[in-house]
Amino acid sequence: MGLDQQATELISPETALDTIAAFYSRLLGLLDRGAMPSDFEALGAEIRALRPDLAERFDVDMALAIRLRENVEHKLKRERELIALNETARDLSAVRDTDQVLQAIIRRARQLVGSDIAYLSAAPDERSPFHVRATEGVVSEAFASIIVPRDVGICGSVVRTRRPWQSSLYRSDQSFHHDPGIDTAILAEGVVSILGIPLELEAHIIGVLFVADRYERAYNPQEISVLQSLGTFAALAIENARLLEEAQRALNMAREANVALRAKADDIESAAVAHERLTELIVRGGSIEDLRNRVAKLLGGDAVILDERQIAMAGALPSSMPEHGLASAIRESVRLGRSVQFEPAPFQTVTVAAVTSGSVRLGALVFSRSKPMSSSEIRTLERAALVTGIVLLSMERVAEATYRNVADIVSALLRGTSDPFRPEGSSALPVGVSLSWPVTILLVSCKDGFAAHLPQAVRAAASGRHVIGAAFNGDLAVVTPGDDWTGLARRIATALEDSGRQPYNIVVSQSVSDASAAAAEYRSLRRGLALLRNLGQSGRIVPEKTLSLYALLFDGQGEEAARAFIKDTIGPLLDHDRRRKAQLASTLYAYFETGRSLQRAADALGIHVNTMRQRLDSIGTLCPDWAEPNRGLELHMALRLLRLSETLPS
């Protein structure tokens, strides 16, 4: 309805009652639609102009109507505040995501006070600076990264006074300490007025709730009050988040502890099972191969047991296993006293556990598979290495007992004191060994001699189904039936070389038919070894009969007697041959060996008879008395000794 029409209604010839009714009708209409204060002022001015006589009365009623409007507006605003607080409480009770709750709080704070910006800063503890946790109405992304020390800006004032703090002109307000970096970020948002509400919990300021506007403004007590209520909820939300985080952390720790306890229980159970199975294996006297199979089955991979020379006693090493890497891992395991892992190839993990007894290395347990071993599996492998050491020591004790028995048998045989192969004495032989007359004796010597404890490789080579061997008088005596001794001698030689027991010599007896002949043959073998040493020989395997004549001649004359005899007898010939690259010594040897026949000697050497005569003349110049019978015998013997030392099989 326009003002002209309203004026017409007021000045129409109606009664005063109608005029008043029309006025109040319009006033109620303004109240009903919640008109602005300016609309009420316009209606009052219009009434005063048309009915001056009623102006005073109408002014009183108009003021009452305006108060009614303000009361209604206040109640509506209060209702909105209560609804916001109720929704915030509901958000907290629903245990929503903390960041979502804080975002909802600042959104409601901005709406309730009608501000341009709202944000919340919080600190993790009483000494830490404040970090922006949530923003609303902010344009700049850098604003969310503001970090405010506890003694700077509005935050500092709120913390110091523990009360709300506001500034209507932020840039020029000197009531708080300004920081250039913080001012730049805040003023970049165009902030003019700002209000900070403390977030207090148990006498601690844990954060500040801010509202800000881009124009000059003062915040009234009612707005501050509702923001304080929201601040209380925000403090509760932050505290709930902290408590929830602590509870979650405690729950995770409890869960991890439970998992660890369960894993520990599983480890103990698996270790107990492994220990039980390994112990059962020891009790029933399982072999090295049984132990290897048990370890491979328990751990799900390939197991190999090596001796102290890194030779497989049970199982076989993979072809991809590098020898240097394995040797290094074994040395490291011995040094550390625990297992060592390395990867010789992609997708292959090898774990090595040294098997030791005190400072003595007995061997190693090598386990390989595609995936790494867990800590409990490693402990099981190390326990298996201990069991392996027990088994090896047990085997060694049995072997030592057997060896002592064999040593007694060999000693009795070579001394000729008893017949170990007679029917009533055969029970003294080790289990599984069968020997009977005639036998062949191999006597082995080396530079350092043989003690009671033979190297494992040598002991293994000198034993078998039809072989016994033991140290005797510093040498190794090996007894085997028949005369098929070549392969046995080669095995012993190889074992000596692998064990580093060089130089060595082996002299082999003729067939021995009884105990009395064995003692005599042993003495001949000792003389043969002495002769080889006299001749400076090593690495030789020689039948005793080849040496018997010369060994008997030089027996007891010292280690240099044979070589001194050769030098004194045919030294001039040998020196001449070396200087002139001649063959006088071999010519004289052929002459003696063919019964002093020029023709047969020349044929043996592949030369003409005249050449043979010329060579003999040269020999006569160097050895004038070579043709005399006694001198010729000495020369012949010296040449045979020389020939023997040069042609002995090695």
pLDDT of residue 256 exceeding 80, the answer is: yes
Give the CA dihedral 551, 557, 559, 560, nearest 10 degrees.
-100
Tens-place pLDDT, residues 36-58: 777 777 777 777 777 676 667 77
**HSE of 67, CA atoms in CB hemisphere, 13 A:** 6
pLDDT value, residue 425 = 56
DSSP-derived letter for residue 370 is S
Least confident of 88-102, 209-223, 247-261, 508-522: 88-102
**C-alpha span between 647 and 234 (Å, rounded):** 106
Q: Is 548 left (phi over 0), alpha (psi -120 to 50) or beta?
A: alpha
Give bridge partners of residue 357 from the DSSP assignment: 360
* Choice between 411 and 428, residue whose per-residue pLDDT is larger: 411
Q: Residue 44 is which amino acid? A: G
pLDDT, average across residues 274-278:
80
**Average model confidence (pLDDT) for the chain?**
83
Centre a 10 Å sphere on the Cβ of residue 241 and count the other Cβ atoms it contains. Answer: 18
Highest mean pLDDT among 22-26, 267-271, 352-356: 352-356
**C-alpha span between 250 and 233 (Å, rounded):** 25
Tokens (6 digits) for 299: 């751990």
| Dihedral of alpha carbons 50, 52, 54, 59, sign | positive
Give bridge partners of residue 477 from the DSSP assignment: 443, 470
pLDDT value, residue 88 = 61
Contacts of residue 506, Cβ cutoff 8 Å, sequence gap at least 6: 442, 443, 444, 489, 492, 493, 540, 541, 542
pLDDT, average across residues 160-175:
92
Give the pLDDT band of residue 28 (cuts 50, 70, 90): confident
pLDDT, average across residues 598-606:
90
**C-alpha span between 338 and 349 (Å, rounded):** 16
Tokens (6 digits) for 462: 């000198």
pLDDT value, residue 324 = 87
Tokens (6 digits) for 134: 């949530």
**HSE of 188, CA atoms in CB hemisphere, 13 A:** 14
DSSP output for 249-310 = HHHHHHHHHHHHHHHHHHHHHHHHHHHHHHHHHHHTT--HHHHHHHHHHHHTSEEEEEETTS
pLDDT of residue 446 exceeding 90, the answer is: no
Least confident of 118-132, 245-259, 451-465, 531-545: 451-465
Give the pLDDT band of residue 19 (cuts 50, 70, 90): low
**C-alpha span between 327 and 187 (Å, rounded):** 72
pLDDT of residue 300 exceeding 80, the answer is: yes
Centre a 10 Å sphere on the Cβ of residue 551 and count the other Cβ atoms it contains. Answer: 23
Q: Residue 469 is which amino acid? A: G
**C-alpha span between 474 and 568 (Å, rounded):** 32
pLDDT value, residue 533 = 81
**C-alpha span between 587 and 526 (Å, rounded):** 33
Give the pLDDT band of residue 10 (cuts 50, 70, 90): very low
Q: Contact, 10 vs 19, CB < 8 A?
A: yes
Give the pLDDT band of residue 11 (cuts 50, 70, 90): very low
**C-alpha span between 624 and 616 (Å, rounded):** 10
Q: Contact, 348 vs 370, CB < 8 A?
A: yes
Tens-place pLDDT, residues 321-341: 888 889 999 999 999 989 999
**C-alpha span between 577 and 588 (Å, rounded):** 12
pLDDT value, residue 13 = 45
pLDDT value, residue 9 = 45
pLDDT, average across residues 273-287:
80
Helix, strand and coil in the chain, % to nearest 5:
60, 15, 25
Q: How far is CA 97 from the centre of its chain?
A: 41
Q: What is the pairing mode between strands 193-201 and 204-213?
A: antiparallel
End-to-end, the C-alpha distance of the chain in Å comes to 139
pLDDT, average across residues 526-553:
82
Tens-place pLDDT, residues 389-410: 888 888 778 777 888 888 888 9
373 closest CA partner among 302, 273, 292, 279: 302
Q: What is the pairing mode between strands 540-543 and 504-508?
A: parallel
Tens-place pLDDT, residues 176-231: 999 998 999 999 999 999 999 998 887 788 899 999 999 999 998 888 888 888 88
- The sheet carrying 475-481 orders its strands as 468-472, 475-481, 439-446, 504-508, 540-543
Number of H helices and E strands in the chain, helices first, is 20, 16
Helix (H, G, I), strand (E, B) or coil at 564: helix
Highest mean pLDDT among 28-32, 366-370, 547-551, 639-643: 366-370
311 closest CA partner among 286, 298, 294, 330: 330
pLDDT value, residue 231 = 82
Convert 481-546 into a string of H (helix), E (strand) and C (coil): ECCCCHHHHHHHHHHHHHCCCCCEEEEECCCECCHHHHHHHHHHHHHHHHHHHHCCCCCEEEEHHH
Q: Contact, 529 vs 443, CB < 8 A?
A: yes
Give the pLDDT band of residue 252 (cuts 50, 70, 90): very high
Distance (Å) of CA 146 to CA 178, 183, 231: 14, 10, 20
Rounded to the nearest 10 degrees, what angle do helices 55-93 and 221-283 cross at? 10
Q: Is 277 left (phi over 0), alpha (psi -120 to 50) or beta?
A: alpha
pLDDT value, residue 650 = 43
- What domains, with CATH codes, occur in the chain? 3-80 (no CATH), 95-246 (3.30.450.40), 285-397 (3.30.450.40), 416-553 (3.30.70.270), 561-647 (no CATH)
Contacts of residue 338, Cβ cutoff 8 Å, sequence gap at least 6: 353, 382
Least confident of 139-143, 157-161, 374-378, 551-555: 551-555
Instruction: Give me the phi and psi of 500, to 5 degrees please.
Output: 75, 20
Tokens (6 digits) for 348: 């292959």
pLDDT, average across residues 559-583:
83
